[in-house]
Amino acid sequence: MKLRWEPYTLDLKTTFRVAHGASDQRNNVLVYLDEGVGEAPAVPYYGETQEGIIEYLESVPDLGEDPFDIETVLARRPPGSLAARAAIDVALHDLWGKQIGQPLYRLLGLNPANLPLTSFTIGMDRPAVMAEQARECGFPIIKIKLGSEFDEQIVAAIREVTDAKLRVDANAGWTRDQALELIPRLVSYDLEFVEQPLAVDDVEGYFWLKEKLLASGVSSPIFADETAKTSRDVVKLAGAVDGVVVKLMKSGGIREALRMIHTARAFDMQIMLSCMVESSVGVTAAAHMAPLCDYADLDGPLLISNDPYSGLRYDGAKMSLPDGPGLGLVKRSPH
């Protein structure tokens, strides 16, 4: 199987701000394995750069000739860039589906009618600007990026203009004490859950926070994102959080993302499937697993203006999977 790649710059419709930076563009890499395609998102926050991803891909040895021997092929990937490892895994699954002539969801034994609705993400800005975006987007589920000094004002301003379900994501932006002080105030605005309130490596803090919140009668579900990268992290967090956020780029691909989902289920944890700023390639790949998940945050393609492929379709928050073989992607003609 021939591995090749193509650097690709995604243009964002609006500047995207989270607790750890802002961007107008993302320099991802499209990865091909014969006629299979995957995407490696270069997320600076995770230490991934376009150059680093390409350097990794140059170091990958021959992956063999059998796309059906998935575990063996994936084991040939050297350690290193998780984004690139995920892209190879996704391209392999796409190739597998194309050779069998079936969509990936069918090969995974999943019903494409059972997709959760997706949220729409509002990046960090002044409270009034975020409230205006929340009103304008018209989505029934809104994910709010927090981690600024105005967090309560932001949630209050957005709640004032919409009845949508609200989820908040602090992106590891709070200390333990800030989280304990803010969460009870924020849940009074009726939140679905709070994502990644604490620092990435503060697993102990999640147990501490859970106990403190329960003691004060606050029962807002807490989800771990950055702290839950693989199935091993799910085990460490069992009992401390109510749910985990699964992303292909953290897990290194579909194979490990499935293990993460099943591990979380074994501990009665909920699952949100999410994405980075990535095109229809990475997001459609994730969406093929969405029937296994409770929540979806798969708005990547809605945030960019130059998607190289079409795949997952949106009717507002309702998503539908393409039914072509593999990921079901179709290349868009360049403008």
Taking the complex as a whole, the smallest distance from the CB of residue 48 to Mg ion amounts, in Å, to: 16
Token output for 81: 């860039």
Rounded CA gap, 152 and 146, in Å? Answer: 9
Say how far apart CA 245 and CA 255 lie, in whole Å.
16
> In whole angstroms, how close is the CB of 317 to Mg ion at the nearest point?
18
Select the residue interacting with Mg ion from 34, 48, 94, 169 (CB under 5 A): 169
Rounded Cα distance, 137 and 133, in Å: 6
- CB 166, min distance to Mg ion, A: 14
Supply the minimum distance, in Å, between the C-beta of residue 259 and Mg ion: 20
Phi, psi at residue 159, to the nearest 5°?
-60, -30
Which is closer to Mg ion, CB of 192 or CB of 225?
225
Kindly state the smallest distance separating residue 57's Cβ from Mg ion, in Å: 26
Please give the residue whose beta carbon sits closest to Mg ion in the complex.
225
Question: Closest approach of Cβ 45 to Mg ion, in Å?
Answer: 10
Closer Cβ to Mg ion, 195 or 256, answer by number: 195
> Is 151 or 225 the residue whose CB approaches Mg ion more closely?
225
**Tokens 């203006």 found at:** 305
Report DSSP state, residue 197: -
Which range binds Mg ion by CB under 5 A, 110-118, 164-172, 212-220, 307-315? 164-172
The Cα-based distances of 55 to 5, 59, 103 in angstroms read 11, 7, 31
Q: Is 278 in the site for Mg ion (CB under 5 A)?
A: no
How distant, in Å, are the alpha carbons of 36, 58, 75, 279 from that of 62? 16, 11, 12, 27
Near Mg ion by CB under 5 A: residue from 48, 192, 225, 278: 225
Stretch touching Mg ion by CB under 5 A, among 41-49, 83-91, 162-170, 280-288? 162-170
Count of residues that interact with Mg ion, criterion CB under 5 A: 3
Interaction mask 183-222, Mg ion, x per CB under 5 A = ------------x---------------------------
Query: What is the per-residue binding string for Mg ion in 114-153, x denoting contact by CB under 5 A?
Result: ----------------------------------------
Contacts of 305 by beta carbon, 8 Å cutoff, 6+ apart:
11, 12, 13
Looking from the CA of 250 toward its CB, the CA atoms found within 13 Å total: 26
DSSP tag of 11: E
Sequence-ordered alpha helix ranges (H) in 187-279: 203-215, 231-237, 248-251, 254-266
Minimal distance, residue 145 CB to Mg ion, in Å = 8
Q: Which residues bind Mg ion (CB under 5 A)?
A: 169, 195, 225
